[in-house]
Amino acid sequence: MLLELTITNFAIIDRVTLSLSPGFNVLTGETGAGKSILIDAVGGLLGGKLGAEYLRAGADHAYVEGLFLVAEQENGKRGQFEQVQRLLDENGLANGEDLLILRREIGASGRSVARINGRAVPTAILQQIGALLVDIHGQSEHLSLLRVSQHADLLDEYAGLVGLRSKAGALVGQLRQVRRDLRSLLQDERELARRTDLLRFQVEEIGSAALMPGEEVTLAAEARVLSNAEALAASADHIYKLVYEGLDDQRSVSDLLGDVSLKLGEMARLDASLQAEATSAEGVLIQIEDLARALRAYRDRIEFDPARLEATEERLDLIRRLKRKYGNSIEDILRFCAEAAAELESLSHSEERIGDLQSQESALLNEIAALAEELTAARASAAAELAKAMEFELADLNMAKARFAVSLEQTEAADGVVLSDGKRYGFGPTGVDRVEFTVSPNPGEPLKPLARIASGGETARLMLALKSVLAAIDPVHALIFDEIDQGIGGRSGHVVGKKLWDLARTHQVICVTHLPQIACFADAHFSVAKEVVGDRTMTSVKALRDDQRVDEIAAMLGGVVGSEVARRNADEMLAEASSRKERVSPASDVRLNAFDKP
């Protein structure tokens, strides 16, 4: 429920804070006092359109803030708790508490900011959550029962068909997946054949290459040696002769180092301090001799092999061509080959898979058809009951001649389910029916969709009747009625007031009214007044005590201010309303169960 509403710098409101009752709240006041502005503010809080026109003159910002209690109910009635919590969790807005804060701010530029639990959110998120918290009936657009998409939900809950419909929805989900898989497999046959040929060629081309990871590096090194074999052999021979045999008349490096080693050995025998140098020279000589032998061996084994060079270069060229087509490395090529082989294997079994999926599709269509017909029959029966209940309620609301009906329509479709009449009908998770509430407010008029009812008063009373009938299954708990008394006289006003109070036993109800017959049933009564303070006009809202309610009801009756007759009439009306409320068995009053949390 809406625990508290705070409005600042909004239109002619300077600052107003309302602490609302969990039951029946009434707002009364003179025409133009600002009651509709309060409703507009709540509409904006729930995500409605707000602009600079709502900013109070001279202010640089305005805001509307609502504190909601969103607690799991204990009376068995389905509430919006789970849906709200799911949306909060999905958007990272949950705070682990039962209290939820919605806030809408308007800046001087006219741009607005929406916040939930202190965090800025897109207006669309605010609208989603707001739609689960409050319904505004009358002048605003938050009319959940006018959304045709919800009519099937409400009828099915009224008829106790939620479980059966969930089963149908699960089957439809399975069917959609099966059909997606079939569409994927039943491609154009020529395209499928081309794809198969291409995959087969790619797998064979890569497979015939017998690639080995890392071989490209080895082959490149071998190709470099083979292509430079003659130069490498000549260089090795030259170095060998220079080191070991000598060139022309020059002595070899080995001979020269031998002389060095010999002389240092003789010197070391005379001066022991040169022993390290002599040993080093001897070691260098040994290394040079090892180098000479290694170069000779390298020279003798290297040879120019044109055939091997050609084969190596061809292999490298093959790898380069495969890399251009299938990947940047041999590993990438082999991975591509594995994936292509897997797809080829899948395509080779596609006919078998197609047959299996077609069998599944046929079986699911039969199951869905059976459930759809069961749902249609149950809905037709429940629709007749709902229509009778609605017309009974409307009769009490000064619409005795109004007719109400639930339209169930089916549409033929080539890809639909076959029903017992042999025709194919389009279907969805809710079955084959398009459910829509229709109404004829006046005698002689045809039934029309509920969404086309133009009169604000008729719409509000229709909403009240629907809310009364569907109270046990309505997920939105806080209801605001504006213009509920349009076209209603005093006699009907008592009935409307009693119905609103009855509805407030399972909902929080906030009602803007000009009828004292409605206001006298309130659990909490607020007076809305417009006054001039200094040179500024502003709206104020005051919660009325019992004695103040007598004065307010007397004023609404049109009596002279302070008139004892008007006060006596008002007092009698309040007493009569109180008596009617007391005649309701306390055991049937569930408001405390719904709102006993702090």
Residue predicted with more confidence, 39 or 458:
39
Instruction: Write out the E strands in 196-266.
Output: none
Query: Is residue 423 scored above 60 in pLDDT?
Result: yes
- The owner of tokens 């890809």 is 415
Q: Which two tokens stand for residue 52?
A: 């600079």
Count the residues in the chain: 598
Position 337 scores a pLDDT of 94
Q: What angle do CA 497, 499, 504 make, to 5 degrees?
A: 95
55 DSSP 8-state letter: B
Q: Are 35 and 72 in contact (CB under 8 A)?
A: no
Which residues, other chains included, contact 494 with Cβ-Cβ below 8 Å and sequence gap of 6+? 517, 577
Whole-number Å distance between alpha carbons of 460 and 475: 18
- Cα–Cα distance for residue pair 441/394, rounded to 1 Å: 9
Residue 137's pLDDT is 76
Whether pLDDT at 595 is above 60: no
- Best CA proximity match to 503, nearest among 527, 483, 484: 484
Pick 77 or 334 by higher pLDDT: 334
CA atoms within 13 A on the CB side of 80: 22
Q: Say yes or no to pLDDT of 172 above 70.
A: yes
Q: CA geometry: angle at 93 spanning 88 and 98, to 5°? A: 70
Q: How confident is the model at residue 76 (pLDDT cuts 50, 70, 90)?
A: very low
Assign 596 a pLDDT band (cuts: 50, 70, 90): very low
Confidence of residue 239 (pLDDT cuts 50, 70, 90): confident
| Helix orientation angle between 81-90 and 123-133, rounded to the nearest 10 degrees | 170
Torsion of CA 245, 246, 251, 252, to 10 degrees: -60
With bands split at pLDDT 50, 70 and 90, how would you rate the model's confidence at 141? very low
**Amino acid identity for residue 218 in this structure:** T
Q: Which residues of 431-453 are buried (b: 16+ CB within 10 A; e: fewer)?
A: bbbbbbbbbbbeeeeeeeebeeb
**pLDDT tens digits for 499-527?**
899 889 888 999 999 899 999 999 999 99
What is the pairing mode between strands 13-19 and 434-440? unpaired
Q: How far is CA 112 from the centre of its chain?
A: 22
Per the prediction, the chain carries an average pLDDT of: 85
Burial 122-159 (b: 16+ CB within 10 A, else e): ebebbebbbbbbbbbbbbbebbbbbeeeebbbbbbbbb
Is pLDDT larger for residue 347 or for residue 438?
A: 438
With a CB cutoff of 8 Å and minimum separation 6, the contacts of 217 are none
Of the pLDDT bands very low, low, confident and very high (cuts 50, 70, 90), residue 261 is confident
Q: What is the DSSP letter of 242?
A: I
| DSSP tag of 244 | I
Ramachandran angles phi, psi of 337, nearest 5°? -60, -40
Which pLDDT value is given to residue 189? 64
Separation between Cα atoms, residue 536 and residue 57, nearest integer Å? 10
Sheet of 478-482: strands edge to edge? 134-137, 478-482, 508-512, 24-28, 524-533, 536-543
Of the chain, the percentage scoring pLDDT greater than 90 comes to 38
Instruction: Extract the tokens encoding 9.
Output: 């710098």
Does 351 or 429 have the greater pLDDT score?
429
pLDDT classification of 487: cutoffs 50, 70, 90: low
DSSP state, residue 113:
E
CA dist., res. 140 & res. 220, Å (int): 79
For residues 100 and 32, is the Cβ–Cβ distance under 8 A?
no
The residue among 280 and 585 whose pLDDT is bigger is 280
Residue 145 has pLDDT above 50, yes or no: yes
Type of residue at 235: S
pLDDT digits (tens, 9 = 90+) for 528-543: 998 887 778 888 899 9
Region class of 41: left (phi > 0), else alpha (psi between -120 and 50), else beta = alpha
Q: Which domains does the chain have, with CATH numbers?
A: 2-139+458-595 (3.40.50.300), 144-186+363-446 (no CATH), 207-345 (no CATH)
Query: CA 67 to CA 236: how far, in whole Å?
Result: 92
Give pLDDT tens digits for 101-119: 999 999 988 899 999 999 9
What pLDDT does residue 589 have?
Answer: 47
pLDDT in tens, 291-325: 888 888 888 888 778 888 888 888 899 999 999 99
Burial of 283 from C-beta contacts in 10 A (0-12 / 13-18 / 19+)? exposed
Run of H or E residues at 5: strand 2-10
Alpha-carbon distance 560 to 593, whole Å? Answer: 42
Please say if the pLDDT value at position 143 is more than 70. Answer: no
Which comes out higher in pLDDT, residue 382 or 586? 382
Please give the residue that has the higher pLDDT: either 565 or 188: 565
- What's the CA dihedral at 337, 340, 342, 344 to 10 degrees? -130
Structure tokens at 136: 């505004």
What pLDDT is recorded for position 244?
82
Q: Whole-model pTM? A: 0.61
